[in-house]
Amino acid sequence: MSQPIDRRVPRTEVRARPAGPPTLATVADEAGVSRQTVSNALNNPDLLRPETLERVQEVIERLGYSPNRAARQLRTRSSHLVGLRFEPAQEGTSNALMDRFLHSLVAAASRTGHHVLLFSGDPDDPLDGYDDLLRSTAVDAFVVTDTYAGTPQAGFLKDRDAPFVTFGRPWEDPHADHAWVDVDGAAGARAATRHLLEQGHRRIAWLGWERSSRIGQDRRSGWEETLRAEGLDPTGLGVRVTDNVDAARMATHHVLDDPSVTGFVCASDTLALGVLHALAERRLQPGADVGVVGFDDSAAAQVAWPGLTSVRQPLEDVAVALVHTLHDVLAHRPVAEQGRMLEPSLVVRRSSLRGWTP
């Protein structure tokens, strides 16, 4: 009696290869092994028997399989995410500076294959939010931006060996060894003050923030140094207020009770807008009667009548410099410049020009 013919077709003869680029599942199926075995062949080859490893590698080469980004992240434990704690804008101000910086940072980071992950925290706790991300390994590194309030984040992140860079110098510790990029606020205020001096103003007031503001003090020093260099006494011309349009408006009225004051250099565009409001209430012409210069070149400075002269921070350059520095930090390469200071520029509009007429 003859044996029955086995009409089953061997599995390898009927297997249909999926369309599109090969995947880890494709390799596993073709090699007759599990997906975990393919993953081990890629990441932990020592765990496999030589003949199994050889078979899997042969299939990988034959199919032209290339591990996707998710597999690379598994192998390197890299998320390609950079964390940044984002604070809400304060009410009553014109400052959307961080919006412009954030847009520039996102664009610069994308060119190195990274994305920016925003997170929030308790306004009274500068460390809130960092630990959760570190525990979850959700990010590769951090960009710290609120150094004006001190830098407790630096010590916290250093203790945990977490890579980071800061937008802002380490105000409390000039000898800190972490990488940072900042804008020279004093240089910006010097440029603003020189501009008003060139317009013929001699009694130039400063409208700035409270003494506790490190950034405000830095900018104020540029105004004061420039006046003294010209042999002018700044005593009594410096005013400290909160960064609020109405507070600046009321302070301006008080300053203008002295008719010899014909110019204002302000620590922010918000304060400069307050000056413009006070001038309108006194029927004085910005530029022609009183020169006004703000700081930050916000969107409000560009649309306010008659156009607000303002110091513009090079935020695009700051973002690029931070990303390049962070790239070196993540690659464990030496950072060329531990601290880098960038120069702002003055954007002149009619609020500071004496010669214009409406």
- Report the CATH number that the domain containing residue 250 is assigned in CATH: 3.40.50.2300
User: Is the residue at 1 inside a domain?
Assistant: no
Whether residues 189 and 309 fall in one domain? yes
The whole-number pLDDT of residue 17 equals 52
Whether residues 309 and 193 fall in one domain? yes
Of 4-18, 96-110, 216-230, 231-245, the range with the lowest mean pLDDT is 4-18
Between 21 and 50, the higher pLDDT residue: 50
Of 42-46, 83-87, 270-274, 344-348, the range with the lowest mean pLDDT is 42-46
Q: Last residue of some domain: 6, 30, 63?
A: 63
What's the whole-model pTM score? 0.74
Contact of 223 with 265, CB cutoff 8 Å: yes
Average pLDDT over residues 101-109: 93
Average pLDDT over residues 167-173: 85
User: Is the residue at 155 inside a domain?
Assistant: yes
Of 2-11, 56-65, 276-285, the range with the lowest mean pLDDT is 2-11
For residue 228, the one-letter residue type is R
Residues 6 or more apart whose CB falls under 8 angstroms from that of 87 comprise 98, 120, 123, 146
Give the sheet arrangement for strand 204-208, strand by strand.
238-240, 204-208, 263-266, 291-295, 309-312, 345-347
Residues facing 84 on adjacent strands: 118
Whether residues 161 and 191 fall in one domain? no
**Burial group, residue 106, by CB count within 10 angstroms (0-12, 13-18, 19+):** middle
Residue of 49, 184, 167 lying closest to 100 (CA atoms): 167
The whole-number pLDDT of residue 267 equals 97
Q: Using 50, 70 and 90 to split pLDDT, how confident is the model at 68? A: very low
How many domains does the chain contain in total? 3
114 pLDDT above the threshold of 50: yes
Whether residues 107 and 93 fall in one domain? yes
Neighbours of 200 (CB within 10 A): 10
Which percentage of the chain shows pLDDT scores above 90? Answer: 54
User: Is the residue at 10 inside a domain?
Assistant: no
Residue of 171, 184, 157 lying closest to 326 (CA atoms): 157
How does pLDDT run across 302-343, given as a tens digit for each residue? 999 999 999 999 999 999 999 999 988 888 888 878 899 999
The whole-number pLDDT of residue 91 equals 52
Q: Which of 42-56, 114-128, 242-256 reaches the highest mean pLDDT?
A: 242-256
Average pLDDT over residues 32-55: 84
Residues 6 or more apart whose CB falls under 8 angstroms from that of 34 comprise 28
Between 74 and 168, the higher pLDDT residue: 168
Average pLDDT over residues 345-354: 96
Residues facing 143 on adjacent strands: 165
36 pLDDT above the threshold of 50: yes
> What integer best gives the mean pLDDT of the chain?
85
The whole-number pLDDT of residue 146 equals 75
Backbone Cα Rg of the chain: 30
Whether residues 178 and 321 fall in one domain? yes
Residue 208 CA to residue 239 CA, distance in Å, equals: 6
Contact of 294 with 269, CB cutoff 8 Å: yes
Q: Using 50, 70 and 90 to split pLDDT, how confident is the model at 7? A: very low
The whole-number pLDDT of residue 148 equals 65
Tell me the residue range of the domain where 172 lies.
81-183+316-343
Q: Using 50, 70 and 90 to split pLDDT, how confident is the model at 26? A: confident
Average pLDDT over residues 214-218: 93
Of 40-44, 73-77, 164-168, 351-355, the range with the lowest mean pLDDT is 73-77
The whole-number pLDDT of residue 109 equals 92
For residue 338, the one-letter residue type is Q
Residue of 66, 65, 60 lying closest to 31 (CA atoms): 60
User: Is the residue at 6 inside a domain?
Assistant: no
Between 233 and 173, the higher pLDDT residue: 233
Whether residues 189 and 303 fall in one domain? yes
Whether residues 134 and 170 fall in one domain? yes
- DSSP for residue 314: -
Neighbours of 294 (CB within 10 A): 33
